[in-house]
Amino acid sequence: MWAVKGHYYNSGSYNYPCTFGLLFSLGLYAGFQASPDAFRAEYDDFLSSTGMADAATLGKRFGADVQKVDFWRSSLDVIRKQIAEFEGLV
């Protein structure tokens, strides 16, 4: 399906929300990996607050600062680890 949908590739902003959401969620996941108990204690509150503020405001309340490069690096580190695992399997 992706191969025949030209608007996925011709639009400069079409994929931004998906990419942002993926990297934001992976950054949260990295936070979970670093401190599972603290993550679990706040996660329900975070979910119940979605839609009430922008991602930067909600993220900060949850310890995820989207304005810091390290947050995005932690997201990409999750992907890097998955790539390394895949490479090891093949």
Averaged pLDDT of the chain? 87
User: pTM of the entire structure?
Assistant: 0.77
Other beta carbons within 10 Å of 75:
21
User: Alpha carbon of 56 to those of 17, 42, 52, 59, 68: distances in Å?
Assistant: 14, 16, 12, 5, 10
**pLDDT score, position 12:** 62
Q: How confident is the model at residue 16 (pLDDT cuts 50, 70, 90)?
A: confident
Segments making up each domain of the chain, as ranges: 13-89
**pLDDT mean over 56-83:** 93
Q: Is the dihedral of CA 39, 42, 44, 50 positive or negative?
A: negative
| Per-residue pLDDT reduced to its tens digit, 39-60 | 898 889 888 988 888 989 988 8
